[in-house]
Amino acid sequence: MPTQDQSQIQQQRIDPKIIQANTLLQLSSLELQEAIEQEIAENPALEMEDEEPCSTCELSPIMCKDCYYQKQVEAADEPDISIYEVDTAFDFISYDPDDDNDPIGSLQAEVSLHEYLREQLRSVVTGRTLEVADYLVNYVNDRGYFEADFLELTLELDATEEEMAEALAVIQTLEPPGIAARNLRECMLIQLRYLADQGKGHALAERIVRDCWEEMIGHRVTRIARKLRTKPELVREAMAFIQTKLNPHPAGGFVAPHDYKPRDNKVSVRPDVIVRRTQVGYE
């Protein structure tokens, strides 16, 4: 006669939610974005919320994480003391200011961004355009953007808007690429055209910046693909190009690794006062 027995058995089972969470954690940023977009495309009840862009570079948080400004802020917290290190000790006792091998006289003064731009201007334009462009350089801020009111400047310079626009266009052709742009969009377009002239451009990336700016900031890949009638994979590739090849802070191109040395040897640093140690004291 059959019998029924009851017994308790402990078994370890993995919660499906944990499996799904681990799967998501293993995805890269790009793969996670693709998974989200695929889920939104399959489920019409879902909608992606607009992300607030970075207050500095105006990019989405995903694209802003590697921008030059963020790296600059992080690096600013750690002072660099390597600039004070020297390979050999300097003998101040035997120092002769008239010596051709004067180590102090051979030092070169630091060149500002405005001075660097002006030196380039003198080699590409002359006359009235150079005069107007030289004045406009004063309004290029530390981030490399042009900040000024054209109407006010026309009164100050007694120049027409055509002369101002021509001079600004010349400045925007100088290095570092993207300099003197009036906004981030114009800055990226200048850099994309510069890369195109170098044979390293990306036509779709330029179209996205020019025609789909709002969608790009919101990282709306599917919407951009529909608007430009292209594949989402190509849009992602173009946006990756924008993120890695363009600099939202063009003045950062003037800092290292941009190695610039003035051609004029007369800008050498000369000390105002030299104190020498002698056998009887200092003089």
> What's the pLDDT at 259?
43
> What's the pLDDT at 56?
62
Q: What confidence category does residue 266 fall into, taking pLDDT thresholds of 50, 70 and 90?
A: very low
262 falls within a domain: no
> What's the pLDDT at 67?
58
For residue range 112-132, what is the model confidence (pLDDT) as tens digits?
Answer: 888 889 999 998 988 999 999
Indicate the number of domains in the chain. Answer: 2
103 falls within a domain: no
> What's the pLDDT at 39?
78
| 191, 201 Cβ separation under 8 angstroms | no
Give, as one character, the DSSP assignment of residue 172: T
Compute the distance between CA of residue 81 and CA of residue 89 in angstroms, rounded to an integer.
Answer: 17
The lowest-confidence range among 6-20, 179-193, 235-249, 259-273 is: 259-273
For residue range 27-43, what is the model confidence (pLDDT) as tens digits?
Answer: 777 777 788 777 777 77
198 falls within a domain: yes
Amino acid 217 reads I
Q: Is the dihedral of CA 174, 176, 178, 182 positive or negative?
A: negative
Before 176, cis peptide (omega within 30)?
yes
Same domain, 30 and 124: no
Please determine, for residue 212, whether its predicted confidence score (pLDDT) is greater than 80: yes
Length of the chain: 283
Coil, strand, or helix at residue 145?
Answer: strand
95 falls within a domain: no
For residue range 218-258, what is the model confidence (pLDDT) as tens digits?
Answer: 889 999 999 999 999 999 999 999 988 898 888 875 653 34
Percent of the chain with pLDDT over 70: 62
CATH of the domain at 132: 1.10.10.1330
Same domain, 20 and 139: no
| 94, 274 Cβ separation under 8 angstroms | no
Structural domain harbouring 127: 113-254
**What angle do the packed helices 221-228 and 232-245 form, to 10 degrees?**
110
Please determine, for residue 7, whether its predicted confidence score (pLDDT) is greater than 90: no
> What's the pLDDT at 142?
87
Alpha carbon of 224 to those of 83, 120, 207, 235, 254: distances in Å? 47, 38, 10, 7, 33
245 falls within a domain: yes
Q: What residue ranges in the chain does DSSP mark as E strands?
A: 277-278, 281-282
